[in-house]
Structure 1
Amino acid sequence: MNVTRGQEVNVCHDGVTSHFPDYLTLCVVLVMISCAVYQVVFSVIKLLLLGAICTAYISMALLTHGTLFDNQDALLLLSSGSGEVFVSRYVTAAVLVGFTVALVIHGRQTETTSRLDFLWKLQAHEEKDDIEHLQAYNRKLIANILPEHVAIHFLSVDKAPDELYHEECESVCILFASIPNFSDFYVELESNNEGVECLRLLNEIIADFDELLEEDRFRNIEKIKSTGATYMAAAGLTKATRDLKTFGHVTAMADYALRIRDQLEYVNEHSFNNFKIRIGINIGPVVAGVIGARKPQYDIWGNAVNVASRMDSTGELDKIQVTHEVYQILHKKGYPLTCRGAIKVKGKGDMITYFLNGRSHDTIEREEGSEQAATEERNHK
C-alpha cells in the first residue's frame, strides 16, 4: 500500500514538474529584465511592475502545487525523503524575490545617476551661459577702452602675450575739441558736493559726444581719449575707414565737429549754462599704438596730432579752425569756409588757417532726406 502510494506520488511529482519546467521561470526572469531596462520609467513604477510579476508567478506556482497534493501525500512525500517539489518551489520563489530586489536596486541607482547627470548638464549649461555673458561683457569693456580693430588684435588667440599693437597711418583726420570756460564753471562747494556735480555735468557732455559716434555716418570716427575738458577723436585709422579718393573720413569729421558744437548749445539751453567750445582739425600721417600690456591705452602720435592740438589751442570760441590741407578737401566738397589768415603756431611759425562755418549742400540735403524718411516711417507706424 505504501509502495503504491509512493508510486502515485512520483507520478504526480512528474506531472508537476512537467507543468512548471525551468524554462518557464527563465521566461519570467526575461520579462522582469525587459521591464527593468527602460530608464524613462520611474523606479517606483518598476518596483510595482516587478513586484506584481513576481507575486503573480509565485502565487500561481503555489496554488498549482497545492491543488495537486493533499496533506497526506505531502506528509508521505516528506517522510519518504522525496521533497524535491517543495524544495524547487521555494528555491524558485527565493530566486525571483532576490532577482526582483536586485533589479529594483539597479533601477534606483540608474535613476539616481540620470538625475545627477541632468543636474550636472543643467549646471554646465548655466556655467556656459555665465561664461558667455562674462566674455561679452569683457569684449564690451575692451571695446570701450580700445577701438574695435585694436580690440580684435588683443583678443586674437594667435597673438603673442607680450605683442603690442602699433601701426603707421598715412592719412588720418584728427579733431581736438575743448571747453575753455569750464574751469570758470568748476568750483568746489558744499552745495555741489565739492565739485562732483560739475564733473558729472562734464561727463554727461562727453557721453553725448560719444553717443553721436553711434550714428552710421560717423562710424569711421574713433574716440581717442578725453583729458579734462578736452576731447580727442580721429578718423581713417584703418584701411577700411580711410578713404584716399573722396576723403569721406574728412567730411565725416567736419560734420561731427558741427554736430558736437550744436550738441553743446543744446546742453546750454537745458542746463542754463554758457559753455563755449573750441575745435581744431588737421589731417596727416600718424603712428597709432597701445601703451601698456596689462592696462592698455590706445593713442596716436605724430606731427599731425601736434598741429591739430595747436588748431584747438589757437582757435576762437564757438569756431572750428582747420589747416590748409583740410581746407583744400572741404572746399572741393562745398563746405563754406572763411580764411582767418596767418597765425603764429608754436613750433610751426606762421600758418594760414580757416574757419569752418557750416555744412555743405550735399550734407544738408542728406540730413533733410533722412529726417523726412524718419518722419514718414513714424507716420506709417
Structure 2
Amino acid sequence: MGFFLIISYSNFAQNQSLADSLELIFKKGDFDEKDRLNILEVLAQNHTVYEKRIEFIDELIEFSKDLDANDYLWSGYLEKGNVLTKNGDLSLALESYLKAADIAIEIKENNLLGSTYTAIAGAYYNAHNHQNTVYYYQKAIEIFRQAKTLDSLNFAKTNLNLGDEYLRVNQPDSALVYFLQSEPIFKSLQNEAGEAYNLGNIGIAYAQKGRHDLAESYMNDAIVIHKALQDYYPICQYLLIKADIYIAKGDYETASNFAHESLVLATEKGLKKQISEANLKLSDIYNLVGNTSDSYQYYKDHIAYRDSVFNLTSLQKMADMRTNFEVAKKQSEVDLLNQQKTNQKVLIFTMVVIFVMTGLYYWNISKEKKRSDKLLLNILPAKTAEELKKSGKVQAKKFDSVSVMFTDFQAFTRYSQQLSPEVLVKSVDYFFSKFDKIIDTYKLEKIKTIGDAYMCAGGLPNPSDDHAVKIIQAAFEIQQFVTASKQLPDLNIAHFEIRIGINTGPVVAGVVGKKKFAYDIWGDTVNVAARMESNSMAGMINISENTFKLVEKYFDCEYRGEIDVKNKGMMKMYFVLGPKNLSKIKKQTGDKIVLC
C-alpha cells in the first residue's frame, strides 16, 4: 500500500495556457529584447509539448551563454534535466543537472544548488535508486539551510519529497519526520497544493503504521483541498488506500465502496492509470469475498486500461545493425594491423581469413536481418513495421472507421481451475492458432490476447470499405471452428463455448513498448466492442448498431432491443444469424462466404 508524489523544484504543474499566450507573443516578436530571457525561461518551464519545450530550453541556454546570464543558464540546464528525466533519459538528465550544479557553485548560490540537488534526487527517485535519492535530498536540505536567505518553498518541497522516498520503502516513521518539517512551511506560505500533498502523505504514513483513524482523518483533509484545486489524481489514490484500510479490517463492503468511488471519479476525469488501479483493487476485493466472476471481469478491465496507459511517443529506436557492423569491421582492421606488425609473413593468410570471415559476417548479417524482419512482421503490421525500421518510431494514427472484434470463452475461469496448466495452455493455443489463420484469410489485424480474450480489427492499418463484412465472416468461421472442435477425437484439449462481440467506429492506433513492441488501438470504439462481447451469449455473434448499419443488407440480424451496458447506458444490440445474400457479399469482398 502506498502512493508517492514527486514534486519538481519549479512547479507543481505546468501551465500550458500561459505557455500558449507567451509563445504567440514570442513568435510575433512583440516584446522588449530585455524580456527575451525571461519569456524563454517561462516557456521552458511551462510548455507541455516535449519537442517545443526542448526547443525553448536550448534557445534559453544559447542566449544565456551569449549574455553571460548565469542565473538563466542555470535555469536552462535544470529544466533540460527535468524534461529528460520525465522522458526516461536518466544519464542525459544527470549530465544537464551537473552542469546546473557547477553554475550554482560558481556563482555561490546555495538556494540554486539545493534546488539542483533536489532535481538530481528526483531523477534517482524515478530510477528507484533509494540510496542516491536519500543522499541528494539530504544534501539539498543541508545546502538550503546554509543559504543566506532560506528558499522556504523549495526547502519544504524537498522535505516532502524525501518523506515520499521513505514511504516508498515502507519506513513511515522516517517519512513523518520530514512531513512534519514541511507541513508548517506550506501553511505559512499558503501553498494549498503543497499542503494537500503533505496532509495526504502524512495519512499514508499513518496507514502504513496501522493507525487507520488518523490516516483517514489526514487523507480526508487532503481530499477537501484537492477537490477545491480540481486535482483529482491523488483523490483517486487516497480512496484506494482507504479501501486497503477496510480490507485490513475485514470490512469488504466499505472497501468496495471506496474502490468504486475511485473508479467512478477516475472514469469521469479520464484518468486511465487510476481506472486500471481501481479495477485491480475491485478485482482483489471480489476475489476475497469469493465472487470470482466479477473479480475476473474487473481484472480484465484492469489489464485493458493498464495496456492503454503507455505513452505513444516514448518508443525507443531499434538497434541499428549497420552501426554494429561498422564497429565490428573497425575492430577487424585494428586486429589486422596488429598482426601485420607482429608477423608480416602471415599477411596473405590473414587477408584470406578476413575475406572469408567478412563474407560470413555479411551472410550472418543478412540472415539476422531477415530473421528480425520476420519477427517484426509477426508483431506489427507490415506498413507499421516498415515505418519503424525507416524512422525508428511510429506516429500514432487515427482511423475513422474500423471494426473491432472480441472473443471470449464462456466459463473459462471455472475450466482453468479444473485443468492442469499444460492442458490449459495447449487448449488456448489450439484455438488461438486457428483464429490467427482465419483472420489472416480475411486480411484482418490481430491486436492482442488477454487471457482467454482474443482481439482483432478490420480496416487498419490499410483502410477498406468492407471491413465490417469481413470481420463478421471471420467471426462465423471462428464460431464454426469452435463448434466443430467438439466433434473431433480427444486431442487432450478443453472444449469451450465462445461469445463474440463486434463494434465499428473511429480508433487511434500506434505502437507501445520499449523492449517489447506491441501494435494496439484505443478509443471508445474498442470499449464498446468489449461490451458487445460481454453482453453476447454462447455461440452467438453480438454486434452494435454502428456495425449493423454497415452489414444489414448482407446478413440476417435479430434485434435484441436496448440493453443496459456498464458505464455506457442503454445500447441497441443485434445477433447476426447468417448471410442474407451470397452474391452481394461475394461481389463486395471477393472472398469465400461462410454459412452459419
Contact 2:403 2:504 in 1 (8 A): yes
CA separation in 2, counterparts of 1:338 and 1:111?
87
529, 536, 547: which one aligns with 1:308: 529
Structure 2 residue 545 is the aligned partner of structure 1 residue 324: yes
CA separation in 2, counterparts of 1:296 and 1:274?
32
Residue 111 (structure 1) shift:
11
Structure 2 residue 431 is the aligned partner of structure 1 residue 210: no
Structure 2 residue 364 is the aligned partner of structure 1 residue 130: yes
Structure 1: give runs of 5+ residues left out of the alignment: 1-108, 372-381
Residue 231 (structure 1) shift:
0.4
Structure 2 residue 228 is the aligned partner of structure 1 residue 228: no
% identical aligned pairs: 29
Corresponding residue for residue 387 of structure 2: 153
Corresponding residue for residue 357 of structure 1: 577
Corresponding residue for residue 259 of structure 1: 477
CA separation in 2, counterparts of 1:231 and 1:357?
21
**AA of the residue aligned to 1:319:** M
Corresponding residue for residue 172 of structure 1: 402
Partner SS for 2:488:
helix
250, 264, 282: which one aligns with 2:468: 250
CA separation in 1, counterparts of 2:350 and 2:365?
22
Q: String of CA shifts for 1:56-78, please: whole Å, max 9, x gaps.
A: xxxxxxxxxxxxxxxxxxxxxxx
Based on CA coordinates, which of the two structures has the bigger radius of gyration?
Answer: 1
Q: String of CA shifts for 1:162-202, please: whole Å, max 9, x gaps.
A: x453111111110011112222322366xx4xx22211111
CA separation in 2, counterparts of 1:231 and 1:323?
18
Residue 338 (structure 1) shift:
1.2
CA separation in 1, counterparts of 2:537 and 2:439?
24
Contact 1:164 1:293 in 2 (8 A): no
Q: How does 1:111-122 map to 2 (within 5 A)?
A: 116-122=350-356
CA separation in 2, counterparts of 1:214 and 1:331?
24
Residue 203 (structure 1) shift:
1.2
CA separation in 1, counterparts of 2:386 and 2:591?
32
Contact 1:282 1:305 in 2 (8 A): yes
Q: String of CA shifts for 1:296-317, please: whole Å, max 9, x gaps.
A: 2221111111110100001111
Q: String of CA shifts for 1:301-346, please: whole Å, max 9, x gaps.
A: 11111110100001111000111121111112x2111111111111
Q: String of CA shifts for 1:220-253, please: whole Å, max 9, x gaps.
A: x110000111000011123xx312xxx2111111
Partner SS for 1:293:
coil
Structure 2 residue 427 is the aligned partner of structure 1 residue 201: yes
Partner SS for 2:440:
coil
CA separation in 1, counterparts of 2:530 and 2:591?
33
CA separation in 2, counterparts of 1:213 and 1:286?
19
**4+ aligned runs moved over 6 Å, structure 1:** 109-112, 363-366
Would the alpha carbon gap of residues 266 and 133 (structure 1) be closer, same or farther in structure 2, given more than 3 Å must change?
farther
CA separation in 1, counterparts of 2:538 and 2:525?
22
CA separation in 2, counterparts of 1:276 and 1:112?
72
Partner SS for 2:536:
coil
CA separation in 1, counterparts of 2:371 and 2:486?
34
Structure 2: give runs of 5+ residues left out of the alignment: 1-342
Aligned length: 244
Structure 2 residue 357 is the aligned partner of structure 1 residue 139: no
Residue 288 (structure 1) shift:
1.2
**AA of the residue aligned to 1:152:** E
Would the alpha carbon gap of residues 165 and 344 (structure 1) be closer, same or farther in structure 2, given more than 3 Å must change?
same
Contact 2:384 2:394 in 1 (8 A): no
**AA of the residue aligned to 1:122:** V
Would the alpha carbon gap of residues 295 and 234 (structure 1) be closer, same or farther in structure 2, given more than 3 Å must change?
same
Contact 2:543 2:574 in 1 (8 A): yes
Structure 2 residue 514 is the aligned partner of structure 1 residue 293: yes
Partner SS for 1:186:
helix
Structure 2 residue 513 is the aligned partner of structure 1 residue 279: no
406, 413, 416: which one aligns with 1:183: 413
**AA of the residue aligned to 2:545:** H
Q: Give the superposed CA RMSD.
A: 2.7
Q: Which has the higher contact order (CA 8 A, sep 6+)?
A: 1
Q: String of CA shifts for 1:248-300, please: whole Å, max 9, x gaps.
A: 11111111111111121232222655411111111111111222233322211
CA separation in 2, counterparts of 1:350 and 1:357?
22
